[in-house]
Amino acid sequence: MGFLLEGLCYLDGMTETGRLLFIVGLLIAGIGVLMWSGIGRGWLGQLPGDINYNKGNVRLHFPIVTCILASLILTVLMWLLRR
């Protein structure tokens, strides 16, 4: 009987982890659908401040502002999920 109760406590703790994984999975799927449909292609990586350099056969693309924006959005989401 004690083993069963320990298992229930374990499962109760896993519901929070499961919920978090489910939400993160939905967010990733939503971003994937946006990128697949072409909505995200117009501005993603093309924000002011992103570095694009083309000369001859050399191409350099460094989306620094896009990375900062994605980091800020993920930080706010994680902060909200922890509350």
**pLDDT tens digits, residue range 2-25?**
444 444 455 455 677 788 888 888
Q: Identify the pLDDT of residue 15.
A: 75
List b or e across 9-19, with b for residues whose CB sees 16 or more CB atoms inside 10 angstroms: eeeeeeeeeee
**pLDDT tens digits, residue range 41-64?**
666 667 788 888 899 999 888 888
Q: Identify the pLDDT of residue 57.
A: 92
Helix (H, G, I), strand (E, B) or coil at 45: coil
